[in-house]
Amino acid sequence: MDPLTIVMLGVLGLLIFFMVRNSRKRRAMVDELQQKMVPGAEVMTNFGLFGTLVELDEDENIATIEVSPGSTIRVHRQTLARVIEDDEPVQGSTDDAPGTDEAGPRLNESSVDPTERKKTDD
């Protein structure tokens, strides 16, 4: 067997390995998403619509989403892109905020009225 054939078989083996690996990762991500899809969860659709999942009909693949109080829509189950999880608010002090001092925030020159700038320049 010549070296070129061995290299080609090696590349083919690597290609198959990576295809199987990516397929398993995708399947695991889909399974994780399906476990999070429960009524009451905040969801986002593929087209950017946010709402609360009200009902999930697995037989007909239809999800009912409440987009505002009293307003629900029905979408195909596969359009649910992700579950929005509540993140804890960042605990930080406002003393370290840049551009603020005791007198308050400063305005840059483009925010100042030109007539006011002339008065201060005199």
Say whether pLDDT at 16 is over 90: yes
pLDDT for 90 equals 47
Q: Terminus-to-terminus CA distance in the chain, angstroms?
A: 90
Question: Which domain CATH number covers 51?
Answer: 2.30.30
Going from the C-alpha of 87 to that of each of 7, 50, 90, the distances in angstroms are 49, 16, 9
Domain, as residue range, for 76: 39-86
Percent of the chain with pLDDT over 90: 43
How many domains does the chain contain in total?
A: 2
**Mean of the per-residue pLDDT values of the chain:** 81
Q: Which residue has the tokens 């829509």?
A: 73
Do 43 and 21 lie in a common domain?
A: no
Q: In this structure, is residue 109 part of a structural domain?
A: no
Do 47 and 82 lie in a common domain?
A: yes
pLDDT digits 0-9 by tens, 34-59: 888 889 889 999 998 999 999 998 89
